[in-house]
Structure 1
Amino acid sequence: MLYLMTQKGRLSRAKAKELFQIVLKQSRNPYFYESCGVPDTTEGRFEMVALHGGLLVSHLCRADMGRDGKILAQAFFDVMFKNIDWSMRERGVGDLAVPRRIKKLMSDFKGRAFAYDESCRAGCSEVIHALMRNVYMESEMPSSATLNQFSQYVQNCAAELEKQQLADFWRGIVVYPDLSSYNTHHESPNATQAA
C-alpha cells in the first residue's frame, strides 16, 4: 500500500511538472502583455500564472474530480511554488526574505484561484472586476473593449477546462483556448473610444 502511495506521489509530481510547463507557456503569450496591457513585470507574469494555474487548481479540487484531483492539484501547487522559490533565489532575493515572500504569494494565489473560479460562474462583469482588482491594481487600466475581450478569454478558459477529463490531467495534458484568434484585429489596450 505504501509503495502504491509513493508511486502515485511520484507520478503526480511528474505530471504536475508537465502541467506547469503548459501553464507557463500559455501565461507568457505576448497577447496578455501587448494586447491586454498586463504589466510585463515579475508581478504581471505571476498574475498570468495565477490566472491559468488558479483555474486549473480550482477545477481539479471540484467534488467530481475526487481524491485524485486533489492530489494532482496539490502536486501542481507544490511544483509551482518550488519553481517560484528557485526563481527568486536566482534573482538574488535573500534567504531570509524568500520564505516570507513565498508565503504571501501562496496566499495571493489561493485568493485569485477562488476569485476567478467564482467570477466565471457569475459572469462577465464579475470576471472584469476580478481582473481589475488583481491584474491592473497598480497599472494603467485598459479600455472597456480590452477588458471585455480579456474577460471572455478567462471564461473560455474555464469552459475549456470543463471539457477535459481527470485522466487528461493525469497524462500531463491541459488545454487552454487558442490565442491566435485573440491576437488579430485587436485594438491597443489603452485605446479610448471615440465620442
Structure 2
Amino acid sequence: MLYLLTQKGRLSRAKAKELFQIVLRQSRNPYFYEMFGVPDTVEGRFEIVSLHGGLLVNRLCRPDMGREGKILAQAFFDVMFKNIDWSMRERGVGDLAVPRRIKKLMSDFKGRAFAYDESCRAGCSELTHALARNVYAEGPKPSAETIKQFAQYIQSCVTELEKQGLSDFWRGIAHFPVPVIPSNNNQNGTNNATQAA
C-alpha cells in the first residue's frame, strides 16, 4: 500500500509539472500584456499565472473529478509555489524574506481562484469587477470593453477546461483557448476583436 501511495505521489508530481508548464506557456502569451493591458511586471505575470493556474485547480476540484482530482490539484499547487520560491531566490530575494512572501502569494492565489470561480458563475459583469480588483489593481486600466473581452476569454477557458476529463489531466494534458483580443489600441473601447495567432 505504501508503495502504491508513493508511486501515486510521484506520478501526481510529474503530471503536475507538465500541467504547470502548460499554464506557464499560456501565461507568457504577449497579448495579455500588449493588448489586454496587463502590467508586464513580476506582479502582473504572477496575476496571469495565478489566473490560469486557479482556473485549472478549480476544474480539478469539481465533484466529477473526485479524490484524484484533488490530489492532482494539490500537486499542481505545490509545484507552482516551489517554482515561485526558486524564482525568488534566483532574483536575489533573501532567505528570510522568501517564506513570508510565499505565504502571502499562496493566500493571494487561493483568494483569486475563489473569486474567479464565483465571478464566472455570476456572469461577465462580476468577472470584470474581479479583474479590476486583482489584475488591474495598480497602474492604468485599459478600456471597459477590453476588460470585458478579457472576462469573455476567461469564461471560454472555463468552458474549455470543463470539456476535459480527469484522464486528460492525469496524462499531463490541458487545453486553453486562444485569446480573443482587441484589434486596435487597448485604450479604445470599440467592439472590434480578432484572435491571437
Match of 1:186 among 183, 187, 191: 183
Q: Secondary structure at the match of 1:105?
A: helix
Contact kept in structure 1, 2:128 and 2:147, CA below 8 Å: yes
Letter in 2 for 1:4: L
How many Å apart are 1:192 and its aligned residue?
5.1
1:97 and 2:97 are equivalent in the alignment: yes
Q: Please give the alpha-carbon distance, in whole angstroms, between the structure 1 residues aligned to 2:99 and 2:5.
A: 28
Aligned CA RMSD, in angstroms, stands at 1.0
Contact kept in structure 1, 2:36 and 2:186, CA below 8 Å: yes
Contact kept in structure 1, 2:146 and 2:189, CA below 8 Å: no
Q: Secondary structure at the match of 1:77?
A: helix
1:27 and 2:24 are equivalent in the alignment: no
Q: Secondary structure at the match of 2:141?
A: coil
Count, aligned residues: 190
1:44 and 2:44 are equivalent in the alignment: yes
How many Å apart are 1:187 and its aligned residue?
2.0
Q: Please give the alpha-carbon distance, in whole angstroms, between the structure 1 residues aligned to 2:189 and 2:159.
A: 30
Q: Please give the alpha-carbon distance, in whole angstroms, between the structure 2 residues aligned to 1:2 and 1:165.
A: 27
Give 1:1-195 correspondences, 5 Å limit. 1-179=1-179, 182-183=180-181, 186-191=183-188
Contact kept in structure 1, 2:145 and 2:189, CA below 8 Å: no
Q: Please give the alpha-carbon distance, in whole angstroms, between the structure 1 residues aligned to 2:187 and 2:104.
A: 30
How many Å apart are 1:191 and its aligned residue?
2.3
Q: Please give the alpha-carbon distance, in whole angstroms, between the structure 2 residues aligned to 1:127 and 1:188.
A: 22
RCO higher in structure (CA 8 A, sep ≥6): 1
Q: Please give the alpha-carbon distance, in whole angstroms, between the structure 2 residues aligned to 1:129 and 1:90.
A: 34
The gaps in structure 1 that reach 5 residues or longer are none
Q: Please give the alpha-carbon distance, in whole angstroms, between the structure 1 residues aligned to 2:56 and 2:33.
A: 21
Q: Deviations over 1:69-109 (max 9, x none)?
A: 00000000000000000000000000000000000000000
Contact kept in structure 1, 2:16 and 2:172, CA below 8 Å: yes
Identity rate, percent:
76
The gaps in structure 2 that reach 5 residues or longer are 191-197
Letter in 1 for 2:137: M
Q: Please give the alpha-carbon distance, in whole angstroms, between the structure 2 residues aligned to 1:22 and 1:116.
A: 19
